[in-house]
Chains A and B, each alone.
Chain A
Amino acid sequence: MKKNKQVITSTGVTVREKPLGLRIWNNRGYYLMFLPVLIFVLIMNYWPMLGIRYAFYDYKPVGQPSWVGLAHFTKMFSTAAFWTAFKNTLELSIMKLIITTFTAVIVSIFLNEMGNLFAKKTLQTVIYLPHFMSWAVVASIFSLLLSPSSTGMINGWLKDLGFIAQEQSGIYFLADSKWWRPIFYVINIWKETGWGTIIFLATLSGINPELYEAADIDGATRLQKIRYVTFPALSNTIITVLILNLAKVMNMFESVFVLYNNAVYDVSDVISTYIYRQTFAIALPNYGYSTAVGLFKSLVGGALVVICNWLSKKTRGRGIV
């Protein structure tokens, strides 16, 4: 006769584990409540995954899909534009993550140090606002400001200040490979820093004031308090934010899509924009190829999640998934 497994209850009592069917029946109310969620997740998240099979098919808007095996992957790995996009995705995402996190930390500390509550709240509101603007609007604003023509404000200033000769053409910031990435990072800082400070400010508000009082008694200067109290208190949050965002680095699309152009594909084209062009910018796209690239992207993203989970366990003692 099969012997039931022993389990320890939340009250510390050791009991024999009941059969699964009985446990489900006993908790049927909870299972019933969970059922809609399960159905929703299966239909919305897992059922579409059946489309992954098209990575191995030629699949166009017309006609029936035809099996091509690994042909799309062979093509993908032998296409220079794909590798450029892959490299750009990693470089842009990771740099953006580091820069925006670092800036958010600095701004949070600065805000935390502000004594005037009204000024602090006003500044917080001002720096949060860009987060609520759509990327399309942000791109339009910066395209106007950075225009190389005579109407571009930044180029106008550079000419007025003598950095560019009056008779010379303005710098085409958004169409110059040297300039595109720095501009992209600056725009990201402008848009997302404010929002990024929320989590750090929350951490800062949770620091025990006695630590600062003790530092004051020890004669610490303001900078020393930041160095020896604030930073150590923030470090765990910084690592957590970095790790959580690292898992999302392959998902970059909108911010690049609205700011890039054919002149800067070499430094700006990311996997998602590459997929977009291969899918929607041609008259008769092959969704099979796009799916193959998308699948590769997802696999890399999945691997990053696993790595981040491992890193999280190492640094925080618990995983993210």
Chain B
Amino acid sequence: MKKKLVSLLLTATMVASLAACGGGDSTADTPAADNSSSETTATEAPAENADASTGDAAAAETPAETGSYQLDTLTVVVNGTLTASVDNGQADFEKQWEEAVSAKLGHPIDLVIQQLDHSGYTDAVGRLFAGGDYPDAMIMSAEMFKQYAPTGLLWDMADAYDNADFQSRMLLPSINENLKDSEGRLYGFASAYGNGCVTYVKKAWLDAVGLDINNIKTYDDYYDMLLKFHNEDPDGNGVNGDTYGVVAAGFMGNEAPYINYLPEFWQDAYPAITQDANGTWIDGFQTDATKAALLRLQQAYKDGAIDPESLTASTKIAREKWFSNDQTGSAGVFTYWAGTWYQTLTDNLVKNEVNEELVQLPPIAEVGKYLNREAPVWVIIDDGDGDNAREQAIFDALIETMMDGDVVQTLWTYGAEDVHWSTKAESFTTNPGTDKEKVYEYEDGVFHLRPSLNDPNSIWKKNYIDPALVVCELTNGYADATELAVAGNKFFTENCVDAPQAPSSETYTNETGTIYDAQLAVITEVVVNGGDVDAAMDNYVATVGSIIDQCLSEMNAAQ
């Protein structure tokens, strides 16, 4: 009897636990069926009430599709560009956002942030979707956006955008206008322009090898600088050849605009599917310009001008190698993000007790301009129910408030009040007790950024939106950009052009991985193994030539 009881109990426990495991939303195959991420309440309010919560004009233009909808929870998926991470005051950011947005909407709203690993964001999003977990809104890179836009997953926010309150404060309307497709649909909203990379050079290394940044004007000058950084002991440790000219995260990036970490080598080449001067889609990888760029990289790899670990380095590894305390094995040149990163790189050099002075290299003649990448965007997931009310409510809660010019925009721009920034009188010291010690004193009412929570020796710079790149003006006048960040942004905007548009077609979407693998095989064969560029390119054509032709044919047909 006892045995039977035990077995019965075991069975019941197991069945109960399995039932609990399987108790999730079994209809989560499509976002349309999965509203579980938002605890929402649909109300059948009269049309005049709808205007208050969904935007006057939007409600007026699409009264049949846009009812009143009370969004109680907003789930967003973000990458590392939201710098108020979990260990950096995210809880305070969320709390203040909820208070401010609840007050604006007139009902309580809960913000749930799912922050995924930045370097593996694309695959993490894929895994999320594969599990049927669709957020309400999320950040997408330009390339992801191009792939997802035609799928029907994303909500067309054109009406909501056109009728948004923030239009009156729009500084850079072209950024989002350019995101609209040929039929005027807008599936993503860019809160700032894309930004791009500029080339930073360690001033101390330039001085050590007797060079002046103003004399680096051509590729030959640039290459000569790299060789000197490799061969002439720029770090002064008495050993020649233990440093490199330049370090990068890969010889070619894995997302558009691909060439921005080594623009001086790629020059006029764009090794991806791109449009020529006539607007025809071509494979830029097969051009003579790409072949010439590969030969330049080959020579640099052979000469030690480029750190060989660039082949496998992630951006984090490349960065840390560049500003590491031990400069042996480091490089003098690093092409990285403009603006705020000018300050961040400098801060890291200071932190690691390396001579911190950096100079920005104006684009060499062969490069002409640095590339301003296509902006990352916020997208809203369409639940597919044919009713825009819920999506409009997400737009109102997230994007409309993000660009309110006031409290919420400040949260997205600078973070939480009295956590990341403050207007109260206070003083603090960074790097106390060292020769880098700096005292900051502020009077009451003066906006200022506070020390970073996870690194009290550096000052917080921004949250998600870069104030220098934002598309809508912040009306409260809060600004505390450092001199370097301001100089960095100014330098970039004076020296940039827009990057080519990322391609999109059904075959391209399916075969991106295969094409990228084939491109990397060519780059490795030529640059690392010193192989013949024409033979490697023939192999590329043999491997993916037909796929590329199919992609081009689809893209040109869609023109």
Is B a genuine binding partner of A? yes
- B464 on the interface (CB 8 Å rule)? no
- Answer whether A280 and B510 are a contact pair too, CB < 8 Å, given A62-B129, A166-B241: no
- A79 on the interface (CB 8 Å rule)? yes
- A210 on the interface (CB 8 Å rule)? no
The CA-CA distance from A217 to B521 in the complex, in Å, is 64
- B475 on the interface (CB 8 Å rule)? no
- B396 on the interface (CB 8 Å rule)? no
The CA-CA distance from A147 to B120 in the complex, in Å, is 24
The CA-CA distance from A79 to B547 in the complex, in Å, is 11
How far in angstroms is the closest Cβ of chain A from B401? 27
Binary contact track B6-29/A, C-beta < 8 Å → 1, others 0: 111011011100100010000001
The CA-CA distance from A227 to B8 in the complex, in Å, is 56
How far in angstroms is the closest Cβ of chain B from A127? 29
Contact among B123, B153, B309, B529 with A62 in the assembled complex (CB-CB below 8 Å): B153
B129 and A283 form a contact (CB under 8 A): no
CB-CB under 8 A from B242, the residues of chain A are: 150
The CA-CA distance from A166 to B517 in the complex, in Å, is 34
Select from chain B the residue with minimum beta-carbon distance to A264.
B524
The CA-CA distance from A35 to B151 in the complex, in Å, is 44
- A268 on the interface (CB 8 Å rule)? no
CB-CB under 8 A from B329, the residues of chain A are: 147, 149-151
CB-CB under 8 A from B307, the residues of chain A are: 149
Binary contact track A167-209/B, C-beta < 8 Å → 1, others 0: 1011010111100000000000000000000000000000000
- Answer whether A281 and B513 are a contact pair too, CB < 8 Å, given A40-B18, A150-B241: yes
Binary contact track A75-110/B, C-beta < 8 Å → 1, others 0: 000011100000000000000000000000000000
Contact among A33, A151, A170 with B10 in the assembled complex (CB-CB below 8 Å): A33
Binary contact track B537-549/A, C-beta < 8 Å → 1, others 0: 0000001000000
- A130 on the interface (CB 8 Å rule)? no
A62 and B151 form a contact (CB under 8 A): yes
The CA-CA distance from A166 to B244 in the complex, in Å, is 15
B543 and A282 form a contact (CB under 8 A): no
- A122 on the interface (CB 8 Å rule)? no
CB-CB under 8 A from B130, the residues of chain A are: 61, 287
Chain B interface, number of residues (Cβ within 8 angstroms): 59
How far in angstroms is the closest Cβ of chain B from A174? 7
A175 and B528 form a contact (CB under 8 A): yes
Binary contact track B487-501/A, C-beta < 8 Å → 1, others 0: 000000000000000
Contact among A148, A166, A280, A282 with B308 in the assembled complex (CB-CB below 8 Å): A148
CB-CB under 8 A from B367, the residues of chain A are: none
- Answer whether A32 and B11 are a contact pair too, CB < 8 Å, given A149-B329, A150-B241, A169-B304: yes
- B127 on the interface (CB 8 Å rule)? yes
- Answer whether A172 and B3 are a contact pair too, CB < 8 Å, given A280-B123, A283-B144, A285-B126: no
- Answer whether A60 and B122 are a contact pair too, CB < 8 Å, given A33-B10, A166-B241, A286-B510: no
Q: B129-173: which residues lie under 8 A (CB-CB) from chain A?
A: 129-130, 143-144, 147-148, 151-153
The CA-CA distance from A29 to B3 in the complex, in Å, is 7
B521 and A265 form a contact (CB under 8 A): yes
- A219 on the interface (CB 8 Å rule)? no
Q: B239-253: which residues lie under 8 A (CB-CB) from chain A?
A: 239, 241-244
Q: B521-540: which residues lie under 8 A (CB-CB) from chain A?
A: 521, 523-524, 528-529
Select from chain A the residue with minimum beta-carbon distance to B524.
A263
- Answer whether A169 and B308 are a contact pair too, CB < 8 Å, given A36-B11, A284-B509: yes
- A214 on the interface (CB 8 Å rule)? no
- Answer whether A175 and B312 are a contact pair too, CB < 8 Å, given A40-B18, A283-B122: yes
- A43 on the interface (CB 8 Å rule)? yes
The CA-CA distance from A262 to B524 in the complex, in Å, is 8
A64 and B127 form a contact (CB under 8 A): no
A284 and B3 form a contact (CB under 8 A): no
Select from chain B the residue with minimum beta-carbon distance to A152.
B329
- Answer whether A170 and B308 are a contact pair too, CB < 8 Å, given A262-B524, A280-B127, A281-B513: yes
- A278 on the interface (CB 8 Å rule)? yes
CB-CB under 8 A from A281, the residues of chain B are: 122-123, 254, 513, 516
A150 and B520 form a contact (CB under 8 A): no
How far in angstroms is the closest Cβ of chain B from A59? 9
How far in angstroms is the closest Cβ of chain A from B123? 3
- Answer whether A40 and B14 are a contact pair too, CB < 8 Å, given A32-B4, A61-B126, A265-B521: yes
- B512 on the interface (CB 8 Å rule)? yes
- B311 on the interface (CB 8 Å rule)? yes
CB-CB under 8 A from A262, the residues of chain B are: 311, 517, 520-521, 523-524
The CA-CA distance from A62 to B14 in the complex, in Å, is 34
- Answer whether A282 and B7 are a contact pair too, CB < 8 Å, given A81-B517, A175-B528, A263-B524: no
How far in angstroms is the closest Cβ of chain A from B246? 13
A283 and B509 form a contact (CB under 8 A): yes
- A115 on the interface (CB 8 Å rule)? no
B7 and A32 form a contact (CB under 8 A): yes
Contact among B148, B304, B312 with A174 in the assembled complex (CB-CB below 8 Å): B312
A284 and B309 form a contact (CB under 8 A): no
The CA-CA distance from A262 to B152 in the complex, in Å, is 33
Contact among B13, B30, B326, B520 with A64 in the assembled complex (CB-CB below 8 Å): B30
- Name which of B7, B31, B328, B516 has the most chain A CB atoms within 10 A of its CB: B7
- Answer whether A32 and B241 are a contact pair too, CB < 8 Å, given A150-B328, A170-B308, A283-B147: no
CB-CB under 8 A from B241, the residues of chain A are: 150, 166-167
The CA-CA distance from A79 to B216 in the complex, in Å, is 46
- B514 on the interface (CB 8 Å rule)? yes
- Answer whether A36 and B15 are a contact pair too, CB < 8 Å, given A174-B312, A263-B312, A286-B510: yes
Q: A41-75: which residues lie under 8 A (CB-CB) from chain B?
A: 43, 60-64
CB-CB under 8 A from B153, the residues of chain A are: 61-63
Select from chain A the residue with minimum beta-carbon distance to B511.
A282
CB-CB under 8 A from B4, the residues of chain A are: 28-29, 32
Binary contact track A136-171/B, C-beta < 8 Å → 1, others 0: 000000000001111100000000000000110110
Select from chain A the residue with minimum beta-carbon distance to B512.
A282
CB-CB under 8 A from A289, the residues of chain B are: 510
Binary contact track B355-387/A, C-beta < 8 Å → 1, others 0: 000000000000000000000000000000000
B11 and A62 form a contact (CB under 8 A): no
Q: List 30 A-B contacts (CB under 8 A).
A: A28-B4, A29-B7, A32-B7, A36-B15, A40-B18, A61-B126, A61-B130, A62-B31, A64-B29, A64-B30, A81-B543, A149-B307, A169-B304, A172-B308, A175-B308, A175-B524, A175-B528, A261-B311, A262-B524, A263-B311, A263-B520, A265-B517, A280-B122, A280-B126, A282-B509, A282-B512, A283-B143, A283-B147, A283-B509, A284-B148
Interface residues of B (CB under 8 A from A): 3-4, 6-8, 10-11, 13-15, 18, 22, 29-31, 120, 122-123, 126-127, 129-130, 143-144, 147-148, 151-153, 239, 241-244, 254, 302, 304, 307-309, 311-312, 326, 328-329, 509-510, 512-514, 516-517, 520-521, 523-524, 528-529, 543
* Given A32-B8, A262-B311, A283-B143, 10 other A-B residues pairs in contact with their CB atoms under 8 A: A32-B7, A36-B10, A148-B308, A149-B308, A262-B523, A277-B517, A280-B123, A280-B126, A282-B512, A284-B509
